[in-house]
Copies of this chain bind each other. A is one copy, B any other.
Amino acid sequence: MNKKNVMMERMSWPEFAAEAKRNPVVFLPCGSTEQHGPHLPLAVDALLPTALCRDVAEKVGGIVAPTLSFGYKSMPKSGGGPYFPGTLNLDATTLIATVHDVIRELVRHGISKICAVVGHYENQWIVTEGIDLAMRECGATGLRVMRLEYWDFCTEETFSQVFPDGFPGIALEHAAVIETSLMMHYYPDMVRLDLIPDHAPADFPPYDMFPPHRDWVPSSGALTSAKGASAAKGKIMAEQVGKDIAAAIVKEFGS
C-alpha cells in the first residue's frame, strides 16, 4: 500500500486545501548546492533534510513544503568554502527573504505550525533571521516556528554506534561519515562508493580568513575521512533522528 503523499509540490491545490484545514505542521527543508566531496552530489544538503522531513511528516501527519535548493555561503571550516566548483552561495539577504516569504505565504493559507529543518550548517543563522522577520510580521496570528539542524538530534548512543572508535565531534562532519551514511541509506544510487575519501581530518586554526586559504581544506572537499560510512549507520541515524524530531514536534505543536 502506498503511503499518503506528504510532499506539497506533488499535491494539487484541493489536496493541499484539504490538508491545510487540519492545520498540520509544515516542514521546510533548508538545503544548499555545495560540494560534498568526490563521492556525493552537490545537492546533499537539500536531499537529506527533504528525506528526513518526509519521514517525520509521515509520522506526525505533516506536510513538506518545496525544498530550498540554495543556501548560505559555504565556509572553508564547515563546508569547504566557495572555491570548489559547483558550490553556489546565496547572499544572506536573499536567503533571509526567501524564508520570510515562504513563511508569510504559508501563514496566509492558514498554517501556524512550521518546522524549518536545516541541512546545511551555514544556513542556521540566516534561516533564523528569516524566521524572526516572519514572526515580527505574522506573530500576532499565533504563528509558531521550530528551527533545527538535524544532526543535533543524534543521541550519544547513536554516535557510539556510528563511531565505534569514539565520536570526534561534529565540526568536521562535512561529506564524512554522517552525511555519507545518510546518503547511502536514503539515496544509494547517488553515492560513488569507489570514490569515498579516506584522509586525515582537516586541522583548522581558530579563525577564518577572507579570501580563504585554499590549502586549509583537504583537496577532496570532505573535511575528514568518510571511510566508516555505511547504509546501516545511515538507517540508524535516520530512524533515531526521525523519531526524536517527531517527538519534539508532538511536544511543541501537539499530536
Find out whether the CB atom of A207 lies under 8 angstroms from the CB atom of B16.
no
Determine the interface band of chain A, counting residues with CB < 8 A from chain B: 35 or more
Main secondary structure of the interface of A (DSSP, over half): mixed
From known contacts A69-B69, A144-B210, infer whether A101 and B91 are also in contact, taking CB-CB under 8 Å: yes
The A203-237 residues at the B interface (CB cut-off 8 A) are 205-211, 221
Is A60 on the interface with B (CB-CB < 8 A)? no
A148 to B149, CA, bound (A): 23
Further contacts, 9 of them, CB under 8 A, given A8-B42, A11-B86, A12-B39: A43-B66, A68-B69, A73-B128, A91-B129, A92-B129, A94-B98, A146-B209, A147-B207, A153-B207
Which A residues contact B (CB, under 8 angstroms)? 8-14, 16-17, 20, 33, 35-43, 46, 65-70, 72-73, 75, 82, 84-94, 96-98, 100-102, 105-106, 108-110, 122, 124-126, 128-129, 131-133, 135, 139, 144-149, 152-153, 190, 192, 195, 205-211, 221, 244, 248, 252
